[in-house]
Structure 1
Amino acid sequence: MQYDLIDLRLFVAIAEARNLTRGAARVHLAPSSASHRLRLLEASIGTPLLVREPRGVSLTRAGEALLRHARQVFAQLEQMHADLTPFAQGVRGHVSLWANTHATHTFLPDSLAAFLQRYPQVSITLEEHTSPYVVMAVARGEVDVGVVAESVAGADVELIPYRADRLVLIAPADHALAQRASTLFAQVLDYPFVMLHAGSAIHTFTMNAAAALGRHLEVRIQVRSFEAVCRMVSAGVGVGLVPLGAVPAGTSRGSLAVIELDEPWAQRDLKVCVRKREALSGFSAALLACLVGEG
């Protein structure tokens, strides 16, 4: 197959406009030139991409597939430009940091803001992954620094305490559980849950905890952030399991009840994960020091 980014941009423009002339205008090409390029693109791929209709065009199945992939290509290009821009603007350092959902949504925003205020010449790439995935990436040298809630047996990494936190149960203020100071996990499994999205560390952890008791959770809704979990629970959708650090400061007892979990696994302390502390580069070492309160 032979085609270039101009061809892909043209195809996306035509597909989104559902019209060859308007799509060509979006990428500043004459309709005749656009039509010629489109025919060459279809010949190169070996199948029609568009169905020409009296009032425009529609996508074939192949066209739908190409549109999906082309959008992903341009999204990756935009991310590449975003990653490279700081270097063109004179940023003199870069640190890659991976963290689990818990850390990303609770403590890291304040920690990273403090670090970047102190080191404005540094840029940070932050990615969210499960703790085991972060640990193994650090062990393989794929990432400089990680923040995790659990280790991986046999992984050759160092773990330094970052923040202490606990998982707690949250429930609507008028819920049957709201008056309890603490509860066992087994005692709440009959209630519907609001959960973080499948694939997140806490989703996997909670499902496994229920399975260990021979039970299955009734998941009423899945959302993308702890804030959304708290809001859904406050609205009466169900109960939730979140880190205490994710519960909004000053949460009113009038809208949300916080119940301690009387389980040994409820303690979910976060740790900074590095391959070898003494081998860290200057800015990675500075980030570590800032995270653990040494800088």
Structure 2
Amino acid sequence: MRLDFFDLQLFLNIVDTGSLTKGAERSAISLQAASERIKKIEQQFAVHLFTRHASGVKLTLAGQVFASQAQILVHQAQQLQQQMLPFATGAQSAMTLWCNSSAQSEYLPLLLPSYLLENPNIQIELKEAESNDIIQALENGSAQLGLISGFFNSKKLQTLEFSDDPLVLICPMDHELQQQAALQLADVLNYPFVGLMQYHSLQQSIETQAKLLGCSIQYRLRLPNFAAIAQVVANGVGIAIMPKRAANRLQSVYSFQQIELTGDWANRKLLLAAKNFDALPVAYQHFSQFLVSHTSRLPS
């Protein structure tokens, strides 16, 4: 079956004007050409679409059904053209992904380059925040897509598993904790810490857990990234908490001991979250599919 959108619009012009002649004029073709095009449609479906009379044409029952479907198809064609126009003209489409510190530093720098290269008209803004804040932003509609820790309550949201993302303790090689195989957060809060800057979501999350235990963390130094923390810890300044993925990456560069942290808070999963994935703009849906399908390709 072949349908020409010009023929559909011609048909609708005839319906709208009530005249084959006026419909042909509106479509900027001759009366004879219009008549032949309508005849081909009628032959294709083996129906009569119009009855002719002195003052013009009227729709048959088949014509009425055809008209309702033709309007849908023409409208969809117009929508398709509008949605393709930004790609044809090179217009930029911007998306914002809310994420915690771990996702921002350890996962997204590895995933996003290939996506951006495949989609040159896309711009992505990363907005770092603590998981509770991301959940709240998604629930109230100020965010559309976020990467959150599975430790926090997100029952009002739809989530997709993104990756395991456990936290570990790192300490100098000669530290008194270095023989421990696993520790709880409460076991280490009396030691001096090296941490991220106060605005980092991971540090805010660690401090929140410490407060729940009735403690406050004593920092000897705050630094902007995990590499700087690993270097300072390796030099014997203090202990630190960071994602296991970051510790594994940095242990080949700096000499420190890595110790497992126990508890649901530390053995977390990263979840991709939205209020309703099916209701997201198409660009966000496409990006979500990419994130979930490509995480397994990341190096361990």
TM-score band w.r.t. shorter chain: 0.5 to 0.7
Change (3 A) 1:134 1:254: closer
**2-structure distance, mates of 1:183, 1:152:** 21
Aligned to 2:47: none
Which residue of structure 2 lines up, in the alignment, with residue 75 of structure 1? none
Verify the 8 A CA contact 1:139 1:155 in the aligned structure 2: no
Greater C-alpha Rg: 2
For 2:149, give the aligned amino acid. A
Cα offsets for 1:130-180 (capped at 9, x unmatched):
212222222233233111115765774211111111110001112122222
1:94 Cα deviation after fit: 2.2
Percent identity among equivalent residues? Answer: 30
Pairwise CA distance, 1:248: 4.8
CA contact (8 A) 2:261 2:267 kept: no
Distance 1:277 1:190, change over 3 A: same
Corresponding residue for 2:208? 208
Taking structure 1 as reference, are residues 134 and 208 closer, same or farther at Cα in structure 2, changes over 3 Å only?
Answer: closer
* Partner SS for 1:95: strand
Q: Write the distance in 2 (CA, Å) between the matches of 1:222 and 1:250.
A: 18
Counterparts of residues 180-195 of structure 1 (less than 5 Å)? 180-195=180-195
The yes-or-no answer on 1:110 pairing with 2:114 is: no
Scaled by the length of structure 2, what TM-score is found?
Answer: 0.63
Distance in 2 of aligned mates of 1:287 and 1:244: 26
- Give the aligned partner of residue 177 of structure 1: 177
**Cα deviation digits, residues 91-116 of structure 1 (max 9, x gap):** 44222211111211111111212221
- Contact 1:132/1:151, CA 8 A, preserved across alignment: no
Hey, what's the Cα distance between the residues in 2 that align with 1:174 and 1:197?
Answer: 26
What secondary structure is seen at the aligned counterpart in 2 of 1:180? coil
Task: Using the TM superposition, give the Cα deviation of residue 278 of structure 1 relative to its aligned residue in structure 2, in angstroms.
Answer: 0.7
Most deviating of 216-225 and 281-290: 216-225
- CA deviation profile, 1:1-42 (whole Å, cap 9, x unmatched): xxxxxxxxxxxxxxxxxxxxxxxxxxxxxxxxxxxxxxxxxx
Per mean C-alpha deviation after superposition, the further-off stretch among 280-289 and 218-227 is 218-227
Gaps of 5+ in 1: 1-85
1:243 alignment partner AA: P
- Secondary structure in 1 aligned to 2:141? coil
Extract unaligned runs of 5+ from structure 2.
1-85, 296-300
Question: Using the alignment, how far apart are the partners of 2:218 and 2:143 within structure 1?
Answer: 36
Q: Is the 8 A contact 1:173 1:254 kept in 2?
A: no
Check whether the contact 1:173–1:253 (CA below 8 A) recurs between aligned residues: no
- Partner residue in 1 for 2:128: 128
Q: Give the root-mean-square deviation of aligned CA atoms.
A: 2.6
Q: Note if contact 1:138-1:275 (Cα within 8 Å) is conserved in structure 2.
A: yes
Instruction: Provide closer, same or farther for how the CA distance between residues 156 and 265 of structure 1 changes in structure 2, counting only shifts above 3 A.
Output: closer
Q: Which residue of 1 aligns with 2:287?
A: 287
Query: SS in structure 2 opposite 1:241?
Result: strand
Q: Secondary structure at the match of 2:162?
A: strand
SS of 2:283's partner is helix
Q: Which residue of 2 aligns with 1:245?
A: 245
The within-5 A match list for 1:1-295 is: 90-150=90-150, 153=153, 156-249=156-249, 251-252=251-252, 255-293=255-293
Q: For residues 94 and 192 of structure 1, do their structure 2 counterparts lie closer, same or farther at Cα, with a shift above 3 Å needed?
A: same
SS of equivalent to 2:293:
coil
Size of the aligned set, in residue pairs, is: 209
- Structure 1 window deviating more from structure 2 (257-266 vs 133-142): it is 133-142
Q: CA deviation at 1:203?
A: 2.0
The offset of 1:275, in angstroms, is 1.8
With normalisation by structure 1, the TM-score equals 0.64
Give runs of ≥4 in structure 1 deviating > 4 Å: 150-155
Distance in 2 between residues matched to 1:294 and 1:254, nearest whole Å? 29
Whole-Å separation in 2 of the counterparts to 1:209 and 1:246: 21
Structure 1 residue 286: deviation in Å? 1.0
